[in-house]
């Protein structure tokens, strides 16, 4: 269930959690929960805490992580919109572990049920009995409403000579727009460009063409390629197309 390189740190987290009466359960998510873990996987753990104890557990997260094992570095997850998360690196050899400290109520809003590694009582079972895990699906209309604005932004950056910014936008187009539409109906857990190579192998030539070097002409070529592959994956997907924006931006890109 848990890959060999993660088993010891998982056991150590459980052992530390069991010592703290404020912690009610440890649940493994991510690739362990989906059964897709391998020798390169990291460890995603949810620590379910009492409502009264969770703020203090979160405040002491780094101290908790340090007690688990040889902690190389750690930081909180505000950059991904998750302040309840502590991202930790143990080692050597390096092992990536995410520790998320939630209340039982906080567990009700979840993307997966996960594998219970340890529990003090039946809190997790009760939460699961009256709530449901839901992985957020991509919203094609949300994507279409933004895509042409993003393309225009990238085209302007190329024209201005801000090539590394344009390359960043190309990455965002793949992750936030192209990949979600390309994987519709192909996976129950869409996650940006992760595993895109295996989920949509027929698109690989078009996707490779969206990768640019820090050269203005190459960035323009890649941006046009991104438009082409977006139109491919958009085909047949129900949405209101922003045709006026599309025509204006494509004309701007051709003229730039």
Condensed to tens digits (0 to 9), the pLDDT of residues 86-125 reads 999 999 999 999 999 999 999 999 999 999 999 999 999 9
Tell me which residue of 137, 141, 135 sits closest to 234, measured CA to CA.
Answer: 141
Query: Which pLDDT score, from 0 to 100, does residue 228 have?
Result: 98
* CA–CA–CA angle 108, 113, 114 (5° rounding): 130
Beta carbons of 227 and 151 less than 8 angstroms apart = yes
Q: Which CATH number fits domain 4-129: 3.40.50.2000, 2.60.120.10, 3.30.460.10, 3.40.50.720?
A: 3.30.460.10
- pLDDT tens-digit profile of 164-187? 999 999 999 999 999 999 999 998
Structure tokens at 173: 């187009």
Q: Whole-model pTM? A: 0.86
Residue 36 — very low, low, confident or very high, per pLDDT cuts 50/70/90? confident
Assigned CATH for 140-255: 1.20.120.330
pLDDT in tens, 59-73: 999 999 999 999 999
The phi and psi torsions of 192 (rounded to 5 degrees) equal 60, -135
The pLDDT, as a whole number, for residue 256 is 84
| Residue 246 pLDDT class (50, 70, 90 cuts) | very high
Per-domain residue ranges for the chain? 4-129, 140-255
């Amino acid at each position: 269930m848990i890959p060999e390189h993660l088993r010891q740190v998982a056991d150590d987290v459980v052992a530390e959690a069991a010592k703290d009466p404020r912690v009610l359960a440890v649940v493994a998510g991510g690739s362990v929960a989906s059964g897709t873990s391998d020798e390169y996987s990291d460890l995603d753990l949810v620590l379910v805490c009492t409502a009264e104890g969770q703020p203090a557990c979160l405040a002491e997260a780094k101290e908790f992580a340090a007690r688990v094992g040889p902690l190389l570095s750690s930081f909180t997850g505000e950059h991904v919109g998750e302040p309840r998360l502590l991202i930790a690196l143990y080692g050597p050899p390096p092992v990536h572990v995410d520790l998320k400290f939630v209340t039982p109520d906080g567990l009700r809003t979840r993307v997966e049920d996960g594998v219970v590694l340890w529990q003090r009582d039946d809190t997790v079972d009760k939460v699961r009995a009256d709530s449901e895990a839901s992985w957020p699906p991509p919203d094609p209309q949300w994507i279409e409403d933004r895509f042409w604005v993003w393309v225009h932004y990238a085209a302007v950056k190329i024209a201005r000579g801000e090539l590394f910014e344009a390359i960043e936008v190309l990455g965002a187009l793949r992750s936030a727009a192209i990949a979600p539409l390309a994987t519709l109906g192909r996976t129950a857990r869409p996650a940006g460009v992760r595993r895109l190579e295996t989920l949509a192998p027929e698109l690989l030539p078009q996707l490779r063409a969206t990768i640019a070097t820090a050269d203005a002409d190459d960035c323009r070529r890649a941006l046009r390629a991104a438009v082409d592959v977006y139109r491919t994956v958009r085909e047949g997907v129900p949405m209101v197309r922003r045709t006026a924006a599309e025509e204006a931006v494509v004309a701007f890109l051709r003229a730039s």
